Amino acid sequence: MFRILFGRYRDRTVLAIAVLLSCLLLALDQGTQAGVARALGLSLFAPVQVVTRNAAETLLLHRENEQLRRVAATLSLERQRLLQLRDEAAELRRTAGFARDRFPYLKPCEIIGRSTDAFQTALQLGCGTRDSVIAGMPVAAYAGLVGRVRQATETRALLETLASPEVALSVQDQRSGVVGILRWSRGNQFTLDRVDAVEDVLVGDPLVTSGLGDTPRGIPVGVVTRVGVSLDGLFKQIDVRTHVDFGGLRDVFVVTRLVPWQEQALYRSEDQQLLRTLEQDAAAAHASTRPEAGERR
């Protein structure tokens, strides 16, 4: 029997075993699937994961450092302006009797595993419940929203990107305030659904989270790239490109809670010291680029 199966019908037997194993893995519940994936990742496929992770870090580290230094200096200058606007907005909200504005508190997490298939719908994070990360929390990157935490163990979490069919995100046109539902199309291309044909949406409009649902409002999502009208003329057909390229991510930030928009609540003491240093560096760089009075003449 064994000889016939693995001799005469070897190809079909191997295929049947592989298909059976695949279907068994697919049929497991999510918790067991995560456990099996973790066990395989630590044993059978450990060399693959080590090779891919180290190669990626080496290639990207230098380029990212350059980029971060430039972004940090620019952000520091931009922050000064935003703080003035924040105080004005807080005063207006207080006068109007609105609740105080709150700000996402970010927990940085490293991406320790990724699906290498063409449909990047999930990423593994190196932080878990011991870092206050639990299922349902929104996850952002420098450029904007990435997705949400689907599962969390003590040391790891599974991040579901916006490209997953499970994620339906309510977003808002930052210019006109029109709200729609973001749905994945391909790569970092999405469509904005449920927008009436008469609503005001234009190409180039930035989109942010609307705050309807579990995701806090105001997190950048993407930009409108095309606006048309559906065949029945009732809805707009809107194409969106997200700011985040899900395939190129290395670090993300989990929004663990919302805090008052104040320096003491947002930054730890060592972070505040770093902030002061960055501000001094940015001010010095800004001063050095200003032309002298004599040169202006």
Partner 1 sequence: MSALASILLVYGALALQATLIPALGIAGIRPDLPLVAVTLVALSRGAATGTITGFLVGLAQDLGNPGFLGLNALAKCLVGHTVGTLRGRFDAGTALSHALVLGAATVAHDLVYLTIHRRLVLSEIFLALGTHTLPTALYTAVVGSLLAVLLAALAGRRSHRFGRSHLANR
Residue 220, classified by CB atoms within 10 Å of its CB into exposed (0-12), middle (13-18) or buried (19+), is buried
Query: 124-143 mask for partner 1 (x: CB under 8 A)?
Result: x-------------------
Angle at 95 between CA 91 and CA 97, to 5 degrees: 115
Q: H/E element holding 18?
A: helix 10-27
Contacts of partner 1 in 273-292 (CB under 8 A): none
Name the burial class of residue 61, with classes exposed (0-12), middle (13-18) and buried (19+) by CB atoms within 10 angstroms of its CB.
exposed
Q: Comparing C-alpha atoms, which of 141, 145, 225 is closest to residue 189? A: 225
Binding mask 157-196 for partner 1 (x = CB under 8 A): -x-x----x-------------------xxxxx-------
Tokens for 227, please give them.
């606006």
A 10 A CB-CB count for 17 gives 11
237 binds partner 1 (CB under 8 A): no
Nearer to partner 1 among residue 73 and residue 125 (C-beta): 125
> Least distance (Å) from partner 1 to the CB of residue 203?
16
Chain positions 18 to 47 lying near partner 1, rule: CB under 8 A, are 18-19, 21-26, 28, 30, 33-34, 36-38, 40-41, 45, 47
Contact 244, 143 (CB under 8 A): yes
Pick the binder of partner 1 from 4, 8, 48, 262 (CB under 8 A).
Answer: 48
Contacts with partner 1 by CB under 8 A lie at 10-11, 14-15, 18-19, 21-26, 28, 30, 33-34, 36-38, 40-41, 45, 47-49, 51-53, 55-56, 59, 113-119, 121-124, 150, 158, 160, 165, 185-189, 245, 247-248
